[in-house]
């Protein structure tokens, strides 16, 4: 053996262990990887923004004495009965089918206790959710699974889903393992088969048709309900403008960190934009049309903390929605279940095979033995606590910026830690007055 030192083994950045493992998996199975959740790659995000806080030029509000309001009105443009929420953190659409009945009940319990809304999903409205949600948004999806006028009328708002952040331009698939008798009955399909959710609506195409579709929904519900239009983060300026043109009361914008029950990993990780890049474009569209704050903007995709809430609102959103974070609050991916995650070949925090219906936490499953493990009352309490904490955190930051309402946060309260985040968010790079792309800079 030579005495000279050998070149140490060097892994390829391009052909990393993860990439090579996926190549081997694809070669062995002949099928792409399907999983739940949103993008796992590192993306420019709210973590790349900081609040400046008050100083000599601005004065703060007293943390435990001076009021910082958090309420939000949604649907004030046309609806006879707009929604008033105590907090601007809503629960995003997640289907019964993807989630168990008790999990939907827990979302309703927690959201109602915290003074906010829940949203149905691609499987129709369940009694668990309607019964426990003081304010329930009913999604109007391309599949129209379970769609009926009675549920439209007993909803508090209607959300026309055009796309979602995890898969803009894509439909969905609920695999046969999760198609129980009840799920099958609600969707008018045989038990146990894979159920496809279409990527386009069956009876309209484009913004002009959407305007007529919204008219129909308003007429069916006697113009009472706020009508949201949800889009995935792809072309947020134009999508927002077209949704406004079509008559939306509220635009819901979902970035690529937003989760899905089941989609191809290649889709989740390679299509769409991070929410940070989406918000300013949507706000610009609303401002250009003179509709900012008249048509409300709800943003979602990677909202985790009160700081994220405050940052989204400072960029111009009226409210946010959470999905994955709500599931974590309920108990999804809890390290206490590590042994069971290990049996499924994964680990707590990384479990994303929600489509297989084997969730040891009993949340993303239709297996009665598994969902019996989940206590909807306890889950609801945990969600309420989490929503309250997020709100307190956002208020803490807003007061430090001298704001007596979360809606008074503004881009001037922010700076960015990276050039990328500065360009996307349209706020200055920290320590400079430079906003890449503004005032003639590159």
Partner 1 sequence: MQTFDLSAQGLRALNSTLHGLKGQTNMTSWEIINPKGAHAIAVGLDAPVDVTVRGSTGYYCAGMNKQATVRVKGSAGPGVAENMMSGTVIIDGDASQYAGATGRGGLLVIKGNASSRCGISMKGIDIVVHGNIGHMSAFMAQSGNMVVLGDAGEALGDSLYEARLFVRGSVKSLGADCIEKEMRPEHLALLADLLKRGEADHLAKPEEFKRYGSARKLYTFNIDNASSY
The residues binding partner 1 (CB under 8 A) are 29-31, 143-144, 147-149, 152, 173, 175-176, 187-190, 193-194, 196, 198, 202-204, 209, 212-213, 215-216, 219-223
Closest CA to 214 of 233, 237, 230: 230
Closer to partner 1 by Cβ: residue 15 or 32: 32
Closest CA to 174 of 101, 260, 254: 260
Q: Helix, strand or coil for residue 10?
A: coil
Closer to partner 1 by Cβ: residue 213 or 399: 213
Closer to partner 1 by Cβ: residue 193 or 378: 193
Residue 218's region, left for phi above 0, alpha for psi from -120 to 50, else beta, is: alpha
- Least separation, in Å, of the C-beta of 234 and partner 1? 22
Instruction: Using the Cα atoms of residue 363, residue 85, residue 315 and residue 401 in order, give the sign of their dihedral.
Output: negative
- Least separation, in Å, of the C-beta of 27 and partner 1? 12
Task: Tell me how far apart the terminal alpha carbons of the chain are, to the nearest angstrom.
Answer: 56
- Least separation, in Å, of the C-beta of 143 and partner 1? 7
Q: Are 349 and 125 in contact (CB under 8 A)?
A: no
Closest CA to 218 of 151, 152, 148, 298: 152
Closer to partner 1 by Cβ: residue 212 or 389: 212
Instruction: Using the Cα atoms of residue 23, residue 28, residue 34 and residue 36 in order, give the sign of their dihedral.
Output: negative
Cα dihedral 207/208/210/216 (nearest 10): 170
Closer to partner 1 by Cβ: residue 182 or 381: 182
- Least separation, in Å, of the C-beta of 355 and partner 1? 11
- Least separation, in Å, of the C-beta of 126 and partner 1? 17
Closer to partner 1 by Cβ: residue 187 or 311: 187
- Least separation, in Å, of the C-beta of 76 and partner 1? 19
Return the axis-axis angle of helices 275-288 and 236-246, rounded to nearest 10°: 40
Q: Helix, strand or coil for residue 101?
A: helix
Q: How far apart are CA 240 and CA 227, in angstroms?
A: 14
Closer to partner 1 by Cβ: residue 151 or 420: 151
157-161 vs 89-91, strand pairing mode: unpaired
- Least separation, in Å, of the C-beta of 140 and partner 1? 10
Closest CA to 91 of 121, 116, 126, 123: 116
Q: How far apart are CA 52 and CA 44, in angstroms?
A: 19
Q: Are 108 and 133 in contact (CB under 8 A)?
A: yes
- Least separation, in Å, of the C-beta of 65 and partner 1? 49
Closer to partner 1 by Cβ: residue 92 or 186: 186
Closer to partner 1 by Cβ: residue 205 or 342: 205
- Least separation, in Å, of the C-beta of 288 and partner 1? 28
Query: Which residues fall within 8 angstroms of residue 148, CB to CB, at 6 or more apart?
Result: 124
Which regions of 373-433 does DSSP assign to beta strands (E)?
Answer: 414-416
Cα dihedral 411/417/418/420 (nearest 10): -30
Q: How far apart are CA 340 and CA 359, in angstroms?
A: 9
Q: How far apart are CA 209 and CA 205, in angstroms?
A: 6
Closer to partner 1 by Cβ: residue 186 or 277: 186
Q: Are 424 and 280 in contact (CB under 8 A)?
A: yes
- Least separation, in Å, of the C-beta of 212 and partner 1? 5
- Least separation, in Å, of the C-beta of 160 and partner 1? 14
What is the Cα Rg of the chain in Å?
A: 22
Closer to partner 1 by Cβ: residue 174 or 387: 174
Closer to partner 1 by Cβ: residue 144 or 304: 144
- Least separation, in Å, of the C-beta of 264 and partner 1? 11
């Amino acid at each position: 053996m030579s005495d000279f030192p050998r070149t140490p083994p060097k892994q390829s950045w391009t052909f990393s262990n993860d990439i090579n493992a996926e190549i081997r998996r694809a070669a062995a199975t002949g099928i792409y990887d399907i999983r739940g959740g949103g993008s796992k790659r590192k993306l420019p995000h709210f973590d790349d923004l900081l609040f400046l806080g008050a100083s000599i030029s601005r004065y703060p509000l007293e943390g435990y004495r001076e009021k910082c309001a958090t309420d939000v009105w949604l649907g004030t443009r046309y609806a006879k009965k707009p929604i008033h929420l105590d907090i601007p953190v809503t629960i995003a659409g997640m289907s019964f089918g993807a989630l168990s009945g008790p999990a939907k009940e827990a979302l309703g319990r927690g959201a109602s206790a915290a003074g906010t809304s829940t949203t149905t999903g691609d499987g129709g409205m369940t009694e668990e959710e309607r019964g426990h949600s003081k304010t329930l948004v009913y999604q109007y999806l391309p599949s129209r699974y379970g769609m009926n006028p009675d549920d439209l009328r007993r909803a508090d708002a209607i959300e026309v889903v055009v796309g979602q952040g995890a898969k803009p331009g894509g439909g969905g698939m609920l695999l046969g393992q999760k198609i129980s008798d009840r799920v099958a009955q609600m969707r008018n399909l045989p038990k146990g088969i894979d159920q496809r959710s279409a990527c386009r609506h069956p009876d309209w195409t484009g913004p002009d048709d959407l305007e007529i579709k919204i008219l129909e929904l308003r007429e069916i519900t006697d113009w009472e309900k706020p009508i949201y239009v949800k889009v995935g983060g792809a072309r947020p300026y134009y999508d927002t403008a077209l949704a406004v043109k079509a008559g939306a009361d509220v635009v819901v914008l979902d970035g690529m960190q937003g989760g899905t029950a089941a989609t191809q990993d290649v889709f989740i990780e390679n299509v769409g934009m991070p929410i940070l890049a989406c918000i300013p474009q949507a706000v610009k569209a609303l401002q250009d049309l003179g509709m900012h704050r008249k048509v409300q903007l709800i943003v979602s995709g990677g909202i985790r903390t009160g700081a994220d809430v405050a940052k989204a609102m400072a960029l111009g959103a009226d409210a946010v929605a959470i999905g994955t974070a709500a599931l974590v609050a309920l108990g999804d991916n809890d390290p206490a279940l590590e042994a069971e995650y290990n049996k499924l070949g994964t680990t707590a925090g990384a479990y994303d095979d929600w489509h297989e219906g084997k969730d040891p936490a009993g949340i993303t499953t239709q297996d009665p033995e598994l969902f019996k493990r989940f206590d909807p009352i306890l889950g609801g309490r945990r969600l309420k606590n989490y929503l309250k904490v997020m709100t307190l955190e956002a208020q803490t930051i807003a007061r430090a910026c001298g704001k007596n309402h979360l809606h008074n946060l503004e881009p001037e309260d922010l700076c960015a830690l990276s050039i990328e985040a500065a360009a996307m968010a349209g706020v200055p790079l920290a320590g400079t007055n430079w906003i890449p792309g503004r005032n003639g800079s590159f």
